Amino acid sequence: MKKILITGGLGFVGSHLAIELSKNPCFSVSIIDPGKYFFAKGLHNYNYYNNIKINLLHQNKVNIFNIDLLNSEKITKLIKEIKPEIIVHLASVSVAGVADYYPDKAKENIFDATYNLLQTVVNKVPVERFIYISSSMVYGHFPKDENGNIILPNEDAPCNPIDIYGSFKLCCEHLIKAFHYRKKLPYVIIRPTAIYGHNDCNFRVTELFVTNALLGRPILLDNGGLHLLDFTYIDDVVKGICSTIENPNALNQTFNLSYGKGRSIKELAEIIQQYIPDTKIEKSNFPPFRPNRGALDISKAKQLLNFSPEFSLEKGIKIYIEQVKEHILNLHYPVKYF
């Protein structure tokens, strides 16, 4: 029985991953998560989804440990007890806007949390594999060719983050590689992007657009909705992470993990409108503040991990809308989130 420990396992991605891994009879799955949430006005939805997630995790026999990675003593004690062979480290401030708004919390829960965990793993309880969930925000602005078309970044593209979140995520990648070179830490680094799906309550664009449409509110397109994202459905991301757990090809490698197609925010709104026909789409004058992005080059994951994402935006959004519909009457969506 392989012991897998997931940090941030109560979160959106971590809970889906824990449940999927727990279905494998060869794995025993535990999560560490004290339930940290940074949107005061989203607490109602957070608590609502947390109850659902905790029930599902219990049903699937996932062990839940309510411990903060900032508490080194408790973390070391727990990891010494569990002795996990695999750690998947997702715990983080996970939204770029939150990191910009609360840089001190970003430093603690991205960088310090990762450092504490690495110290325990490297000095006290060695693991077979330390899998770090980073982000495509480490790239900053995606490069463009001479015609102004975005070049899909592969894993060797320059990393020049332009915000707090991407900067701390990149610091953690460097730290992990330093522990690899100095202390032989076996690692995998994964860079996902724009993940969407059931149980997310971090006010990301897909969640906001779908809930606004279901609540009869207009969808607002900042900057005309021209910004491109590589929207990736949660099941594809979970499948991709699972494929790095034991595959020898993944060892000491970095992977982009996404659907692999750049779609505009406007297209997202129009797809939602197809499924919820009364949806009104309006333009706002909010200036662009995120890096220019688009699709990631996922050829390395396809080649080394046999990664083959299945959910186009049309397919994933259709499922997601049906899931949100089941809960929408129990959720509260304020107009402002901080």
Ligand X SMILES: NC(=O)c1ccc[n+]([C@@H]2O[C@H](COP(=O)([O-])OP(=O)(O)OC[C@H]3O[C@@H](n4cnc5c(N)ncnc54)[C@H](O)[C@@H]3O)[C@@H](O)[C@H]2O)c1
Residue 112 C-beta: closest distance to ligand X, Å:
8
Residue 277 C-beta: closest distance to ligand X, Å:
27
- Which residue type, as a one-letter code, is found at position 295? A
Largest CA distance in the chain: 58
Q: Is 167 in the site for ligand X (CB under 6 A)?
A: no
For residues 294 and 262, the answer to whether their CB atoms sit within 8 Å is: yes
For residues 160 and 141, the answer to whether their CB atoms sit within 8 Å is: yes
| Of the residues 4, 10, 176, 213, which one makes contact with ligand X according to CB under 6 A | 10
Measured from the CB atom, the residue of 113 and 118 that comes closer to ligand X is: 113
Q: Give the full edge-to-edge strand order of the sheet including 253-257.
A: 63-65, 27-32, 2-7, 86-89, 129-133, 187-192, 253-257
* Distance (Å, whole) CA 178 – CA 166: 18
Q: Is 12 in the site for ligand X (CB under 6 A)?
A: yes
For residues 247 and 303, the answer to whether their CB atoms sit within 8 Å is: no
Residue 285 C-beta: closest distance to ligand X, Å:
26
Site residues for ligand X, window 110-129 (CB under 6 A)? 113
Residue 125 C-beta: closest distance to ligand X, Å:
17
For residues 138 and 173, the answer to whether their CB atoms sit within 8 Å is: yes
**Contact pattern from residue 18 through residue 37 relative to ligand X, giving x for each residue in contact according to CB under 6 A and a dash for the rest:** --------------xxxxx-
Q: Looking at beta carbons, which residue is closest to ligand X?
A: 11
C-alpha distances (whole Å) from 190 to each of 61, 78, 155, 213, 263 are 26, 25, 10, 32, 21
| Of the residues 5, 14, 18, 207, which one makes contact with ligand X according to CB under 6 A | 14
Strands 195-196 and 219-222: unpaired
User: Any bridge partners for residue 320, and if so which?
Assistant: none
Q: Is 140 in the site for ligand X (CB under 6 A)?
A: no
**Contact pattern from residue 51 through residue 70 relative to ligand X, giving x for each residue in contact according to CB under 6 A and a dash for the rest:** -----------------xxx
Q: Is 109 in the site for ligand X (CB under 6 A)?
A: yes
Burial category of 285 from C-beta neighbours within 10 Å (exposed 0-12, middle 13-18, buried 19 and up): exposed
Q: Is 198 in the site for ligand X (CB under 6 A)?
A: no
Q: Is 135 in the site for ligand X (CB under 6 A)?
A: yes
Residue numbers at the binding site for ligand X (CB under 6 A): 7-8, 10-14, 32-36, 68-70, 90-92, 94, 109, 113, 133, 135, 192-195, 202
